Amino acid sequence: MKRILIAGATSAIAMACARKWVDGGARFALIGRNGERLEAIARDLEARGAEHVSVHRLDMTALELHAETLQACYEALNVVDIALVAHGTLPDQRECETSVSTALREFSNNAVSVIAFLTALAQQMERQGHGTIAVISSVAGDRGRRSNYLYGSAKAAVTAFCEGLRGRLWTAGVHLMTIKPGFVDTPMTRHLDLPRALVVGPEHVAKDIVRGIERGKNTLYTPWFWAWIMPLLRGLPDSIFKRIRL
Amino acid sequence: MTLSFQSWGRYPALPQRVRYCHWRDELARVLGAALGEGDTTLPVGNGRSYGDSCLAASGQVLRMRPLDRIIAVDWATGRIEAEAGVTLEEVLALSIPRGWFLPVTPGTRYVTLGGAVANDVHGKNHHVRGTFGRHVRRIGLVRSERAPLVCGPETERDWFAVTVGGLGLSGVIDWVELQLLPIRSSLVDSIEMRFDNLDEFFDLSALHDASYEYSVAWIDCLARGNETGRGVYMAGNHAAEGALAVDMRRQFALPFAPRGSLVNAVSLRMFNGVYYRAHSPMARKRVGYGPFFYPLDAILHWNRMYGAKGFQQYQCVVPEDAAREGIRALLEAVAASGMGSFLAVLKRCGDLASPGLLSFPMPGVSLALDFPQHDDIDAKLFSRLDAITRAASGRLYPAKDAHMTGADFRRAYPAWEQVEAKRDPALTSRFWQRVTRS
Ligand SMILES: Cc1cc2nc3c(=O)[nH]c(=O)nc-3n(C[C@H](O)[C@H](O)[C@H](O)COP(=O)(O)OP(=O)(O)OC[C@H]3O[C@@H](n4cnc5c(N)ncnc54)[C@H](O)[C@@H]3O)c2cc1C
Ligand SMILES: NC(=O)c1ccc[n+]([C@@H]2O[C@H](COP(=O)([O-])OP(=O)(O)OC[C@H]3O[C@@H](n4cnc5c(N)ncnc54)[C@H](OP(=O)(O)O)[C@@H]3O)[C@@H](O)[C@H]2O)c1
């Protein structure tokens, strides 16, 4: 039986992962900011066979409450085998270009809250001496595109932070996997006109995440073809990249 | 992502914009907004209806499929309460290992609970269990101009009657509580018997229906003369022992629709003849529930084989006393037209009353036929079939329909005015517009 903690548990990708974990027997501690939706997910997981689900209401931007909530999760689970950090928002880039407060709020939600939470979580996991932390970053963090660079820069911060933290945790026997999804069909992207051929459903990504964790992957591109696309994009010189409308 | 939404027949091809419902708490707001803007929408499930009953009059549908959470389940009593976008496939994946099956299932498991209620679907066991709605305990209904309500056979019965088989018009179904059927095995003990003409079908059905939970017949609709109505009668019961295993067969998908239809005179003649001969006069087999109930689910998007123009299904039910002559006349008309059907399915409907005001089944025999769409199909074939159905006091199934006249609908479903009276002002479909306003 696995003991699983999820931050941003109302995310479609997180939900799809949780349903996969249920099959092998699991206890969950779910963190999210919408109590009603968290409850709905908890009931669903229980009906699907989860052994126990506890819900913890928290807006991840309330940094001062992280330690307390984490404590409550540990009390419910005792030990954490897998911690998935999934929360995030996709800002309106245009708005971020004219409103400093929007830009910083979005950066805070996508980067600062993640870094803060990981800092608290890493200490607990280090003490525990085993388990996996999986953090959802994004391919968007691999290169800042003009259409989406506020979000991209926040995810870049998360990716770099995780890269360093992975080394530190490795010495303590804890694994950290950075997840870089491409385009996933979830509430976050429903309003966008994405290239259909590149879009996958959350179940697809969840399957990759669950397997990636089992195999101890360090960085997971999902679906796999992003592992080929992103190096090409990164390899483009700035003199060309700045001219491309991406 | 602005994915378009199509009905299963891909005809009529009316572009639909899609709004998604991810959480139940969003519904009241979405509906209120539609009403406020003087706009209408239509809740849709998985688009497994064939014609235009799952297309919004406004061209803006509300997709309920993302509402796919189980709310509560009691495996001791087999009661499951789930959000409306949960599919029958998802219910089975959970319930089979615990010894429960759907009380009623249509010929595909890719329909949602909301869609199954809104069409009050029937299955091969209609003669013993009636329609899906008979097994629904409670429904959560969200309306644009009032507080959400719960209806069922014991509470708010008039809302239940307009919602079951209500074509998505009485409000948005956000959850459904269903009573499942206990099984001891996921296998089905099946029997197949070939029959040489329509009279033999009626004899077989009269003789065997009572001893089988499930029964249905396939007809070779190209056969003529004294072979008219030859086919294969198939029946089955849940096996008394065996594994409780979820069907995991891999599916094959048709990747795209060819321009023209793969179903044509040549392929039809081949298929119908071969299918008939492939069956021995009589065979008993123990089979998985997948191939027994859902043979077509083995090919994902099989509807694409009809090409860019799509296809129409003609499904009618003819009352018992007129069934023999009526079905014969229909089959003769089809054979005479030279427009064969790839699949022709005969099913006896029993006399268990449906809870919905617009439920399709009635005691008698139902016939379903698929035809590639072409421009003169109405004039050349459907108008003839409609005349026969009308003369026999039968009726057509809205879930499959893209052609019936308003007059035929209103005659066959006189309770339509009660549904119209309780229709949510924010909801209406192309079908409803077509049959109530013309
Ligand atoms: C291969 C195949 C075999 C079939 N066999 C049978 C059969 O044996 N017996 C039978 O009865 N039918 C059969 N059908 C038809 C199918 O079962 C019905 O059309 C079913 O209602 C489709 O469900 P759906 O979830 O796809 O809903 P849709 O087709 O998307 O919608 C169907 C109707 O339900 C309404 N609706 C959907 N969700 C909601 C909601 N949440 N709230 C309110 N209204 C809603 C829609 O407005 C629409 O009127 C078959 C279809 C196929 C493709
Ligand atoms: N979808 C994609 O294409 C894609 C691609 C790359 C990366 N990602 C990343 O994948 C992760 C999951 O996203 P998703 O696609 O599953 O979208 P989603 O369903 O919209 O999930 C995002 C979830 O994060 C929650 N959340 C946001 N801010 C929060 C906060 N401050 N406190 C608590 N919860 C908060 C939201 O909760 P509410 O329900 O309360 O709003 C929402 O449920 C995100 O980190 C996203 O950046 C997604």
CB atoms within 10 A of CB B84: 29
Using an 8 Å Cβ cutoff, are B269 and B232 in contact?
no
Residue B241, phi then psi, degrees to nearest 5: -150, 165
Smallest CA-to-CA distance from A158 within A91, A93, A106, A112 is with: A112
Among protein residues, the one with the nearest Cα to ligand 2's atom 24 is A87
Give just the sign of the alpha carbon dihedral B335, B339, B341, B347. Answer: negative
Q: What residue of A is the nearest CA neighbor of B79?
A: A47
Give distance in angstroms: CA of A124 to centre of ligand 2. 24
Give distance in angstroms: CA of A203 to centre of ligand 2. 15
- What SS3 class is residue A145? coil
Does the pLDDT value for residue B226 go beyond 90? no
pLDDT in tens, A176-223: 999 999 999 999 998 898 998 999 999 999 999 999 999 999 999 999
∠ CA A224-A225-A229, nearest 5°, is 135
pLDDT in tens, B95-138: 999 999 999 999 999 999 999 999 999 999 999 999 999 999 99
Give distance in angstroms: CA of A54 to centre of ligand 2. 20
Ligand 2 near A105 CB (within 6 A): no
Task: Give the side-chain half-sphere CA count within 13 A for A29.
Answer: 20
Name the one residue in this structure whose structure tokens are 């421009």: B375
CB atoms within 10 A of CB B222: 23
Shortest distance between the Cα of A127 and any Cα of chain B, in A, equals 36
Using an 8 Å Cβ cutoff, are B164 and B136 in contact?
yes
Contact B1 A190 (CB under 8 A): yes
Q: Which of A74, A149, A151, A221 is catalytic?
A: A151
pLDDT attached to residue A14: 98
Smallest CA-to-CA distance from B214 within B110, B113, B101 is with: B101
Residue B22 touches chain A, beta carbons under 8 Å: yes
Shortest distance between the Cα of B20 and any Cα of chain A, in A, equals 8
Closest ligand to Cα B169: 1
- What is the ipTM metric for this complex? 0.94
End-to-end CA distance of chain B: 35
Q: Which of B2, B25, B72 sits opposite A193 (nearest CB)?
A: B2
Res. B341 pLDDT band, cuts 50 70 90:
confident
Residue B381 tokens, joined: 């074939």
Name the one residue in this structure whose structure tokens are 């099946």: B190
Average pLDDT over residues B387-397: 98
Contact A43 B3 (CB under 8 A): no
Name the one residue in this structure whose structure tokens are 């018009």: B169
Instruction: Write the secondary structure of chain B as one string of H (helix), E (strand) and C (coil).
Output: CCCCCCCCCCCCCCCCEEEECCCHHHHHHHHHHHHHCCCCEEEECCCCCCCCCCCECCCEEEECCCCCCEEEEECCCCEEEEECCCEHHHHHHHHHHHCEECCCCCCCCCCEHHHHHHCCCCCCCHHHHCCHHHHEEEEEEEECCEEEEEECCCCCHHHHHHHCCCCCCCCEEEEEEEECEECCCCEEEEEEEEECCHHHHHHHHHHHHHHCCEEEEEECCCCCHHHCCCEEEEEEEECCCCCCCCCCCCCEECCCCCCCCCCCHHHHHHHHHHHHHHCCCEEEEEEEHHHHHCHHHHEECHHHHHCCCCEEEEEEEEEHHHHHHHHHHHHHHHHHHCCCCCCEEEEEECCCCCCCCCCCCCCEEEEEEEEECCCCHHHHHHHHHHHHHHHCCCEECHHHCCCCCHHHHHHHCCCHHHHHHHCCCCECEHHHHHHHCC
Residue type, B332: E
DSSP state for residue A94 in the 8-state scheme: H
**Residues 6 or more apart whose Cβ sits within 8 Å of residue B289:** B92, B96, B101, B186, B187, B188, B247
Task: Give the side-chain half-sphere CA count within 13 A for B182.
Answer: 8
Does the pLDDT value for residue B1 go beyond 70? no
**Atom of ligand 2 at shortest distance to CA of A185?**
1
Average pLDDT, rounded, for chain B: 94
Shortest distance between the Cα of B69 and any Cα of chain A, in A, equals 5
pLDDT in tens, B186-219: 999 999 999 999 999 999 999 999 999 999 999 9
Q: Which helix (H) or strand (E) holds A5?
A: strand A2-7
Distance CA A112, CA A135 (A): 13
Chain B residues within 8 A of A43 when measuring between CB atoms: 69-72
Query: How many beta-carbon pairs below 8 A join chains A and B?
Result: 39
Give distance in angstroms: CA of A106 to centre of ligand 2. 12
Give distance in angstroms: CA of A9 to centre of ligand 2. 9
Distance CA B60, CA B65 (A): 15
Does the pLDDT value for residue B148 go beyond 60? yes
Shortest distance between the Cα of A146 and any Cα of chain B, in A, equals 20
Q: Which helix (H) or strand (E) holds A91?
A: none
Residue B28 touches chain A, beta carbons under 8 Å: no
Using an 8 Å Cβ cutoff, are B218 and B197 in contact?
no
**Residues 6 or more apart whose Cβ sits within 8 Å of residue B357:** B161, B162, B165, B166, B413, B415, B416, B418, B419
Which residues are near ligand 1 (CB < 6 Å)?
B 8, 42-49, 53-54, 64, 84, 106-108, 111-112, 114-116, 118-119, 121-123, 167-168, 172-173, 296, 399, 429
Using an 8 Å Cβ cutoff, are B180 and B78 in contact?
yes
Distance CA A139, CA A183 (A): 9
∠ CA B248-B253-B255, nearest 5°, is 160
pLDDT attached to residue A57: 98
- What SS3 class is residue A154? helix
Using CB atoms within 10 A of its CB, is residue B198 exposed (0-12), middle (13-18) or buried (19+)?
buried
**Atom of ligand 1 at shortest distance to CA of B122?**
11
Contact B69 A41 (CB under 8 A): yes
Ligand 2 near A59 CB (within 6 A): yes
Name the one residue in this structure whose structure tokens are 């591109």: A221
**A149 in active site:** no
Name the one residue in this structure whose structure tokens are 């007809």: B219
Cα separation values, B255 from B251, B260, B304, B307, B372, Å = 12, 15, 8, 12, 19
Average pLDDT over residues A95-105: 98
Residue B2, phi then psi, degrees to nearest 5: -90, 75
Window from B7-16, B257-266, B386-395 with minimum mean pLDDT? B257-266
Using an 8 Å Cβ cutoff, are B43 and B427 in contact?
yes
Does the pLDDT value for residue A245 go beyond 90? no
Contact A190 B23 (CB under 8 A): no
Torsion (CA) B11, B388, B235, B359 in degrees, nearest 10? 60
Out of A136, A139, A177, A196, mutate this one to test ligand 2's pocket (max ligand atoms within 8 Å of CB): namely: A136
Q: Which helix (H) or strand (E) holds A68?
A: helix A66-77
Does the pLDDT value for residue B364 go beyond 50? yes
Using an 8 Å Cβ cutoff, are B331 and B219 in contact?
yes
Contact A193 B23 (CB under 8 A): no
Give distance in angstroms: CA of B288 to centre of ligand 2. 40
Average pLDDT over residues A85-105: 98
**Atom of ligand 2 at shortest distance to CA of A13?**
16
- Which of A15, A22, A44 is the best mutation test for B, with the most CBs of B within 10 A? A44
Find residue B172's DSSP bridge partners: B142
Residue A53 tokens, joined: 């689900």
Find residue A179's DSSP bridge partners: A136, A220
Give just the sign of the alpha carbon dihedral B221, B224, B227, B229. Answer: positive
Distance CA B216, CA B232 (A): 9
Distance CA B400, CA B117 (A): 15
Distance CA A145, CA A113 (A): 23
Using an 8 Å Cβ cutoff, are B433 and B57 in contact?
yes
Res. B3 pLDDT band, cuts 50 70 90:
low
Average pLDDT over residues A95-110: 98
Shortest distance between the Cα of A7 and any Cα of chain B, in A, equals 19
Contact A48 B23 (CB under 8 A): no
